[in-house]
Amino acid sequence: MKIALGQINPIVGDISGNSAKIIDLIEKARHEKADLVVFPELCVTGYPPEDLVLKPKFIAENLAAVERIVKSTKDIAVYFGFVNLAKDNLYNAGAFAENGKAKEVYHKMNLPNYAVFDEKRYFKEGTKGSVVNYKGTKIGLGICEDIWVEQGPYREEVKRGAGIILNINASPYHIGKVKEREALLKARAKKNKAFFVYVNLVGGQDELVFDGGSMVIDPKGNLIAACDQYREELLFVDIEKDRLTDWRWLDEPEEIYRALVLCVRDYVGKNGFSDVLIGVSGGIDSALTLAIAADALGREHVHAIFMPSDFTAEQSRRDSQELCANLKVELAEIPIKDIFARYLDALMPHFKGKPANVAEENLQARIRGNFLMALSNKFGWLVLSTGNKSELSTGYCTLYGDMAGGFVVLKDVPKTLVYRLSDWRNRDKEVIPKAIIKRPPTAELKPNQLDQDTLPPYEILDPIMRAYVEENMSVKEIVASGFEAKVVEKVAALIDHSEYKRRQAPPGPRITGRSFGKDWRVPITNRFNEL
């Protein structure tokens, strides 16, 4: 059987556009004499549709699109995902259509309700597996989470004679996820002695990145076909003949970098923007953000602005100029010295008798934020803010200052990983100046300021933050793993007390197993003490 894997990048809510893309690829698959073409989970609506499924018009348009897709299946079979309405219940569904008719509709049985998933809010669980007989072969149907459950519907379907299991997915990316999927599918295929055809979504959707990586595993547990990560593809596989040799998924730094690039490109493009604006400081976070944006959108769509103050070192200007020259991005400069002085004059009667503190520091960040948003309003550019996960976790950022913007590219990227990704970007040619990478991190909001004056060194902070946030370890457990108690307690307290800031931060790509987004739901008003 010749199967086409339709790894596509749908847009949530663009039902007419998504269905037109599906129908076009069905025609291409028919032209290549494929027997069957398989598309991802909820590809008609895009994933996740969230509360859009509560709108009757949305459901009706989705069902009308399903009819159009089904009618396009002359001389070919198609399995694709949509939202079904049956007996006043909504289902995450898959339709198996052949020769203009819907032969079988499968309802997802295992609805994930953890991390970024909340499918039980919207859908009712299906109650049984589905097996279709197509060209003399029995084929079992499933959707995403169904494959992760030990007693998933594929077990029953194999017992009913299914030699091929089709599993359609909207499986979001986190570091190493594609290898987790491969290992799981190999185990399932080998144990059940069936072909497993796994088709995943690709693209960015708000904070989620879908990395593709669709694949086919044979009954012996061998990977026999795979789609590239991070791009749309229609891959043809003769499951009886084709074999894959020397296949390797992307190495970790490239995997992460390309996830960030894809998410930026799709967030900007799918939301109707063409250009972005970034405040560059001479620091590594803004440098990496600028490089990612240029790779995602093209240098002509990226604008950089340098906003020096009295505390800005000349090195910061030189490094920013070199960075922008390397990327061929135009750099503008707006000094904030005079405006900052006027702010201080206006506030002097109210600040009288009070020593300088974080208030004066944050004024500078907020002046810069105002300039960025003014340019955004004037030209329609989306501001990409440049904070990283280490800063957001500890609150080492300024509300309405460096947090101002529409998208935070490094929101889920710890500082130590920022350095790794910068080194990877420089692998062939120096783009981010070495001086930026080697320079100790500084906010440059007061004389001789370093991040390390306020925070533990990032090589200590980041593993503590990872354990506390991503692995949900207690303070005692982290201390027992070898970290100094006072440092762990300080980091945990900073994380706990900074929720009000994070809740006001823009969205950003999720690349770890737990980001400060949909899978981090901590009350702002909260007196629980972990210490």
Six-digit token pair at 59? Answer: 């459901």
Please answer whether residues 239 and 218 qualify as being in contact, where contact means their C-beta atoms are separated by less than 8 angstroms. yes
Burial of 215 from C-beta contacts in 10 A (0-12 / 13-18 / 19+): buried
Phi, psi of 246 (to 5 degrees): 60, 35
Crossing angle of helices 358-379 and 337-351, in 10° steps, is 130
Task: For residue 385, give Cα distances in angstroms to 177, 214, 215, 527.
Answer: 27, 32, 36, 30
Residue 418: phi and psi, rounded to 5, are -55, -45
3-state SS assignment for residue 39: coil
Catalytic site residue from 43, 144, 263, 324: 144
Residue carrying the six token digits 């991390």: 115
Please state whether the peptide bond connecting residue 48 to the residue before it is cis, i.e. omega within 30 degrees of 0: yes
DSSP 504: T
108 in catalytic set: yes
Q: Give the helix ranges, DSSP H, for 386-470.
A: 389-394, 415-425, 434-438, 458-465
Beta bridge pairs of residue 187: none
The tokens describing 334, both together, are 């707006």
What's the rounded Cα separation, in Å, for the pair 39 and 348?
Answer: 63
The whole-angstrom separation of Cα 256 and Cα 413 is 9
Residue 117, Cβ density class (10 Å: 0-12 exposed, 13-18 middle, ≥19 buried): middle
The pair of structure tokens assigned to 41 is 């989970």
Tell me which of 21, 103, 108, 501 is the catalytic residue. Answer: 108
**Cα-based torsion angle of the residue sequence 505, 432, 204, 10 in order, rounded to the nearest 10 degrees:** 150
Choose, from 41, 322, 391, 444, the residue flagged as catalytic. Answer: 41
Copy the structure tokens of residue 77: 């079979």
For this structure, is 144 an active site residue?
Answer: yes
Who contacts 225 (Cβ-Cβ below 8 Å, separation ≥6)? Answer: 5, 215, 216, 235, 237, 239, 242, 244
137 Cβ neighbours under 8 A, 6+ residues apart: 1, 163, 164
Tell me how far CA of residue 145 lies from CA of 87, 119, 168, in angstroms: 24, 11, 9
**Is the CB of residue 322 less than 8 Å from the CB of residue 452?**
no
Positions marked catalytic: 41, 108, 144
